[in-house]
A and B are shown apart, each in its own frame.
Chain A
Amino acid sequence: GNSVTQMEGPVTLSEEAFLTINCTYTATGYPSLFWYVQYPGEGLQLLLKATKADDKGSNKGFEATYRKETTSFHLEKGSVQVSDSAVYFCALSDGNFNKFYFGSGTKLNVKP
């Protein structure tokens, strides 16, 4: 079956530090991969996506590369800001984008 595994949090970093949040997946077929972000009291928002192997998704300084050989989609940012504090969810979807599978979420705290 399909599933997503994320590193447990919380992750606490100082401003301008480098961020990596690990995500690995199990899937049948050729899934699309996503990172969603959830700010306190809000719904999830799409941060970036990749729809095929070796694609790199990027947005707001965040990047993730779809690695089929390691079944991974790790989220990275070179220099985090306090405003990046949120919960980050890795997700995958089947080819029809009807069923979505989310990881457990990783809370990021960025200190000034």
Chain B
Amino acid sequence: EAQVTQNPRYLITVTGKKLTVTCSQNMNHEYMSWYRQDPGLGLRQIYYSMNVEVTDKGDVPEGYKVSRKEKRNFPLILESPSPNQTSLYFCASRPSGPRNEKLFFGSGTQLSVL
């Protein structure tokens, strides 16, 4: 089944403890991106990657890192999480080429930073 898989589904951590949220897609998509969803603000783009080793900032990159060493994986790294990073996070991917505008989303990761 074609899908975007995020792990973990739920994560509770403490301020300053480094964490990684994984994202993997099995559709051979070149483009991947990360979003955070907050009440009243909708989804805001954190980072995106157009291909392996090519990443760029979205609207809210502060406090986050990403890497794209393989086409299928795009982990989100919080090196020193803070309570204002408590949010629902979504990973998405899309194909390249014509009619390539449709994003495929994972099921989300609910992060709580205490």
Instruction: List residues of A whose CB falls within 8 A of some B CB.
Output: 4, 6, 32, 34, 36, 41-46, 49, 51, 89, 91, 93, 97-105
Report yes or no: A44 in contact with B90, Cβ–Cβ below 8 A: yes
Report yes or no: B100 in contact with A102, Cβ–Cβ below 8 A: no
Report yes or no: B103 in contact with A104, Cβ–Cβ below 8 A: no
CA distance A51 to B88 in the complex (A): 28
- Known A32-B101, A43-B107, A46-B102: A102·B42 in contact at CB below 8 Å: yes
The interface stretch among B44-52, B64-72, B74-82 is B44-52
A-B contact pairs, 18 of them (CB 8 A): A6-B42, A36-B103, A41-B107, A42-B108, A43-B4, A43-B90, A44-B92, A51-B101, A89-B42, A89-B43, A91-B43, A97-B31, A97-B100, A98-B48, A99-B59, A101-B59, A102-B42, A104-B41
Query: How many B residues have CB within 8 A of the partner chain?
Result: 26
Which residues from chain A contact B59 at a C-beta distance below 8 Å? 99, 101
Which residues from chain A contact B107 at a C-beta distance below 8 Å? 41-43
CB distance from A44 to the nearest CB of B (A): 5
Determine the residue in chain B with the shortest Cβ distance to A2.
Answer: B59
